[in-house]
Amino acid sequence: MSSSFARLILMLLAPAVLGLGVTACTQSAIPSPQTQGFTTQTPIRESAPPSSAPTGSATATAPASSPTSSSTVTSTPRATILGMADGRYAARITAVDSHRRLVTVDVVQLFLGKAAATAAAQDHAERVPPPNDLWIRNQSHLLRTLSVTSTAPITVNDLGAVITHSSVKNLQVTLARLGQFPDLNGGIFWLTVRHGVVTQIAEQYLP
């Protein structure tokens, strides 16, 4: 009786157990919803944003400063001889370099007496004849630098008045002493030129 009852129960439970096994097998064959369609990707490192400064070999440079000359500026220009033929010239002395024995001059024309009145009229001067019957014409302000011989006599009168107390007395001085007088270019000098060099310098008395 008990064995028959056991077989009956087994017959009733067998289909249910079989159904559960089929269902379990079917579910194991279907991929999990969480893994379906999943693709493995390698993380991409995000590059840094480009810099606002331009790249390349060019570099920004500051504006070039004015070149600095290595030479020292002096009151005496470079020595040049521009058409100074042998002769005697009236000139203003603008600079003296006693170490190199150079004088820089501005050649002028000096007119005295009646010649001064004629020249002043030609130059349309306000007063004809000019004061003290003296007229200085300077058509060109070109500066010439000339060598002075070591034996050249140099005399002053107006400039030497501080020493001689007389504007009409000639005083012989050295080239170095000549360059030390104040207002040197205010006077007129007669230069004697021989073979392109100055052989004599004499101040002209101006009343």
Determine the pLDDT at residue 29.
44
Find the mean pLDDT for residues 111-135: 96
pLDDT digits (tens, 9 = 90+) for 21-41: 544 444 444 444 443 443 344
Question: CA–CA separation, 146 vs 88, rounded Å?
Answer: 14
Instruction: List all residues 6 or more positions away from 85 whose beta carbon is below 8 Å from its beta carbon.
Output: 193
Is the confidence at residue 197, as pLDDT, over 50? yes
The ranges assigned to domains in the chain are 87-204
C-beta separation of 154 from 174 below 8 A: yes
Residue 99: which pLDDT band, with cuts at 50, 70 and 90?
A: very high
Task: Give the pair of three-digit tokens for residue 194.
Answer: 């021989």
